[in-house]
A and B are shown apart, each in its own frame.
Chain A
Amino acid sequence: MTNHWIDLRNADVVLVMGANPASNHPISMKWIMKAQEKGGKLVVVDPRFTQTAAKADFYTRLRSGTDIAFLGGMIKYIIENDLYFHDYVINYTNASFLVNPDFKLPADLEGVFSGYDEKKRKYDKATWSFQMEANGTPKRDLSLKDPNCVFQLMKRQYSRYTLEQVVQITGTTKEDLIEVYKTVGSTGKPNRVATVCYAMGWTQHTVGVQNIRAFSMIQLLLGNMGMAGGGINALRGEANVQGSTDYGLLFHILPGYNPAPTAALTDLKAYNEKNTPKTKEPSSVNWWGNRPKYITSYLKAIYGDKATKANDFGYAWLPKVDEGANYSWLNMFDKMFKGKFEGFFAWGQNPACSGANSNKTRQALSKLKWMVNVNLYDNETGSFWRGPGMNPKDIQTEVFLLPCASSIEKEGSISNSGRLAQWRYKAIEPVGESLPDGEIINELYYKVKDLYEKQGGAYPDPIVNLAWAGHKGEAGKLGHIDMHDVAKEINGYYLADVFDKKTNKQVGKKGDLCTNFVTLQDDGTTSSGCWIYSGSYTLKDGKEVNMMARRGKEDPTGLGLYSTWAWTWPVNRRIIYNRASVDPNGNPWDPNRALIQWDPVKLDPKTNKPGVWVGDIPDGPAPPMALAEGKKPFIMKPDGVGSIFGPGLADGPFPEHYEPLECPLTENPMFKKHRINPTTKMFFGKEGDLKEDEFATCDIRFPYVCATYRITEHWQTGLMTRHVPWLLEAQPQMFVELSKELAKEKGIKNGEKVNVSSARGTLWAIAIVTDRWKPFQIMGRTVHQVGIPWHFGWQFPVDGSGGDSANILTPTVGDPNTMIPESKAFMVNIERG
């Protein structure tokens, strides 16, 4: 989230698209309904009439996988009806930038942007660039009239998204489209703000990232980024998934969103050169220009005294990603299926149910020599060898179960969608032999380290040099970790007296906790395990204070910031990009929603000169952009402005509609030549590809669109909820929801058992025949869609009455940027059981 949960109440329009908060984030509805109470409008766009839709002021539906068509039409509507926020667009976005004249839109090249390499299914992005002035800043046309400026290119790109065309693709009615466009478009005024809530309904597509980008462009056009009640808000699917990405859980990033080093970047200098953006724009903060400080402080945190300037702070010891390699989920299990792994730690996860194409995933597990399953208790993954279709005699995988403590059995921090890191306490001791995950890792670390120290090995340095001390148990006993030590290490320490490079004033004393990341250094004099969390455990009046444990309830602005409750990264800023909530002179666009304001008279306590920000913590202390030494608002972008033209993604600088891998159409109504995202990695189609990865599009055998989703009573693969009898009582069985029209066609009665199948597998489900699903009219014909929850698994309930995972049906295909699987649009058949 750019904003936070409570902030939803400040919106005039809440668009819920690709999410169902009433079912899956019930507490958020408290804030959404508060917005409604004040006259705000809740608009829900979803293929299905959801529990959230039941509370909406306006609901409309679209076929799964057509969000870009829907939103592209919205962009066209906003531009044509002059609903955009002119001052904001001109000053705070790259709309006025002139693009390389060689850049071509899909309209010019039969469905692809310039630079496409069909063989590699990749773009050469050379033409996705700006024309430069002699001083190295982008050329601009503030009148937005130059045909090569971003604004005009965007206008041309979405001119194809006519209402008629969008209706054909999405199945939404024209009247409904106009109603949604009008409502969202009404917030292009300084005193009106819209927010968006999205979840896996936007991300789990082969165009997942572009779905989100499309709406980010709209938020920039309407001036809603940085505003209270605005922004782009991902409703994260797990209580601490924000924390896990912040701390580098994924393969492509280190903690704090620093890119994972690649094999070609052989030293720290090369790494920093490649990954530190540069700008010649004098009024841009370009915060990522500080990257070297963060990576160096990270290396100092993990390697301590062993990390020296002479040895590149131990950069060589970091694991390197092979050039161009992608170690995400689908690829990892593909490799496992092909026998490329010996062992696997399934830690806090249940891949046998959670991974797309479960049958393949379960088969992949059988190719392992060993698997360590770390979980609360046994699950479909640990017991895969005795699951459906498996013959235990043929499976050699040795499975170890390490029981871990649940969240209430340990202390630590948790980071929610709004970036709020909140400390929580241990309520009870871990049950039985279970241990907190950290202590399991700790034990594993000492064992591995001992082996390296005794036996040597190919490359012991990355392990034996780790600065991790004081957690080893006495001989024969397990070690214990103090989570406060870990939190402090994440915050970081001054390893020497640290002085400001410009003023030469001392900013840090050796041995103290760092104040925040502003004082981190690239010379090895500071450490920080995750720079964005620097400031979360710090010194106040000489005492170490865990900011995440704060429980203040003051709300002086009345905007629900509650800045003294726990702690938010970065530097406790509750709404990021808040410098975009004021005009270039620092006055709030909407005085009733003032987050920050520039006071030109008040003295800055640090410099004792007039001019200072008042209100929430601004995105940097520099004056607003119109003043001397002023800075532009989007501090993380090298140009200082929001990217309407976004060349960073794999699949294009503007979102374009492509069909899902499996869809009901023979071709993309936009372009005959490119039905699906041209940069999506294909697992099936060539000779020698696995039959397990088969897909079937526009195939008479699988005529219905299907999407997976969650229900309130169950969580993830259901491991934690299916074992709770009260929850199982409320939602006992796998079901499939379908329209009355389809039920009639297929002779299916409400409540009867049916079989749902895709090119990859079949499962049974109880039919829920309902008015909440309706057939779509797509390109002149009727298209039915059905939906299934994904929380069930064969292992529990033990009598098999629950059913199995929805992922038995989902395809092996992902978004080219993130590789998140496309579980929200694929094709199935449904038959009476």
Chain B
Amino acid sequence: MTTKALLITPELCIGCRGCQIACKSWNQLSAEKTKNHGGYENPPDLTPNNFNKIRFMEVPSEKNPTRWLFVSQRCMHCKDAGCMKICSSPGALTRSETGAVVTNHEKCVGCHLCVAGCPFNVPRYNRKTNKLAKCTQCADRVPNGLTPLCAKTCPTGAIAFGDRDELLAKAQQKGYAKVYGEMDLGGLGTLFAFKDAPKIYGYADKPAINEFVIFWHKFLKPASWLGIGGMTALMGLHYLAVGPKKETQDKEEPTCLCGEKITESTEEREANHETKQ
């Protein structure tokens, strides 16, 4: 089968969040109790029950009071996938025939190394089930000839699904000379047609896999089957990469997928705005 991809065009997104709800519906993900934190965006972050969320970002604009961007955040289905490289349990993360990175809960041992291995801060660890959770590009729909539900739901064509090569060609035809994810990390399965620098949309200019992942992949993983030694290394690495166990994941300030803070403070934004003017 040919490699498939999702092409997301934020300029076409109207922020209706049909895709966010459709994702929850298809995957039967339960809702969380949320609060309004002073904006439309909710839930505040990806969670084991939210594989796809739309970020509402107000960035400076020259012609309007603001520029309001609606940008999807979800698994990028990297060809060179940090999560797969670091995964300690063979078969827990697999590559589908169409190129998607698919989770297999039966094989997942709950080490959540993949959380640290992801350059986009996407996989989420579910404490209750001791499994990781993320978008699978609707791995239970696509082999059956169905479009991922987010793409099917989108009314404006902001999310398109199809053959990766065709989507890239189409984006180029529409004037997007450089498509985000075309070459990055071996080629992403979630492509973004950005009109401006990726950073404005909350994405790193040059996404790269964490050094730890490479280290693990090259040196430690091959020996991991050696048992206790491997386990110790695993635990050590887990501590280094993931850090000590945290009690709460409820973050007030959403962070950029590239690890930077992207919601500017009022003062910062005003300063930026003034400089632009």
- Where the two chains meet, the residues of A that have a C-beta atom closer than 8 Å to any C-beta of B are 22-23, 26-27, 29-30, 33, 49, 51-55, 59, 61, 711-713, 725-733, 735, 740, 749-752, 766-774, 801
B138 partner residues in chain A, CB cutoff 8 A: none
CB pair A22–B25 under 8 Å, yes or no, is no
CB pair B38–A769 under 8 Å, yes or no, is yes
The answer, among B17, B31, B43, B69, for a CB contact under 8 Å with A712, is B17
What sequence of 0s and 1s flags, for each residue 255-270 of chain B, a beta carbon within 8 Å of any chain A beta carbon?
0000000000010011
A26 partner residues in chain B, CB cutoff 8 A: 14, 16, 18, 155-156
The answer, among B24, B37, B38, for a CB contact under 8 Å with A726, is B24
A766 partner residues in chain B, CB cutoff 8 A: 35-38
Q: In whole angstroms, what is the CA distance A772 to B157 when docked?
A: 25
CB pair B36–A735 under 8 Å, yes or no, is yes
Sample of 14 further A-B pairs with CB below 8 A, known A33-B12, A49-B65, A730-B20: A27-B155, A29-B14, A33-B157, A53-B64, A54-B15, A711-B40, A726-B24, A731-B36, A733-B35, A750-B38, A768-B40, A769-B38, A771-B58, A772-B65
Contact of B68 with A by CB under 8 A: yes
15 sample A-B contacts, Cβ–Cβ < 8 Å, listed by A number: A29-B16, A29-B155, A49-B64, A54-B14, A54-B70, A61-B65, A711-B40, A712-B15, A726-B24, A726-B31, A729-B31, A730-B17, A731-B40, A740-B266, A740-B270
Contact of B21 with A by CB under 8 A: yes
Q: In whole angstroms, what is the CA distance A711 to B42 when docked?
A: 13
Q: In whole angstroms, what is the CA distance A766 to B34 when docked?
A: 13
The answer, among B17, B58, B70, for a CB contact under 8 Å with A713, is B17
A729 partner residues in chain B, CB cutoff 8 A: 31-34, 42-43
- Where the two chains meet, the residues of B that have a C-beta atom closer than 8 Å to any C-beta of A are 12, 14-18, 20-21, 24-25, 30-40, 42-43, 58, 64-70, 155-157, 266, 269-270
Q: In whole angstroms, what is the CA distance A735 to B37 when docked?
A: 10
Q: In whole angstroms, what is the CA distance A750 to B37 when docked?
A: 8
The answer, among A30, A728, A731, A750, for a CB contact under 8 Å with B155, is A30
Nearest residue (CB) in A for B59 is A771
The answer, among B16, B36, B43, B157, for a CB contact under 8 Å with A733, is B36
Min C-beta distance of A722 to chain B, whole Å: 12
CB pair A767–B38 under 8 Å, yes or no, is yes
B64 partner residues in chain A, CB cutoff 8 A: 49, 53, 59
CB pair A23–B65 under 8 Å, yes or no, is no
Q: In whole angstroms, what is the CA distance A24 to B74 when docked?
A: 25
Q: In whole angstroms, what is the CA distance A734 to B196 when docked?
A: 34
CB pair B35–A732 under 8 Å, yes or no, is yes
CB pair B65–A22 under 8 Å, yes or no, is no
Q: In whole angstroms, what is the CA distance A740 to B264 when docked?
A: 14
Q: In whole angstroms, what is the CA distance A219 to B17 when docked?
A: 34
Nearest residue (CB) in B for A766 is B36
A735 partner residues in chain B, CB cutoff 8 A: 36
Q: In whole angstroms, what is the CA distance A398 to B270 when docked?
A: 57
B18 partner residues in chain A, CB cutoff 8 A: 26
Q: In whole angstroms, what is the CA distance A302 to B47 when docked?
A: 58
Nearest residue (CB) in A for B23 is A726
A801 partner residues in chain B, CB cutoff 8 A: 35
Q: In whole angstroms, what is the CA distance A805 to B50 when docked?
A: 29
Nearest residue (CB) in B for A739 is B65
A740 partner residues in chain B, CB cutoff 8 A: 266, 270
Q: In whole angstroms, what is the CA distance A345 to B33 when docked?
A: 35
**Max chain A CB contacts within 10 Å: which of B31, B36, B58, B69?**
B36
Given known A729-B42, A772-B66, contact A51–B156 (CB-CB < 8 A): no
CB pair A712–B16 under 8 Å, yes or no, is yes
**Across chains A and B, which 7 residue pairs bring their CB atoms closest together, nearest first?**
A751-B38, A725-B31, A750-B38, A771-B66, A22-B14, A26-B16, A54-B68
Q: In whole angstroms, what is the CA distance A49 to B31 when docked?
A: 29
Min C-beta distance of B257 to chain A, whole Å: 20
CB pair A732–B156 under 8 Å, yes or no, is no
Q: In whole angstroms, what is the CA distance A727 to B37 when docked?
A: 16
Q: In whole angstroms, what is the CA distance A735 to B39 when docked?
A: 9
CB pair B66–A49 under 8 Å, yes or no, is yes
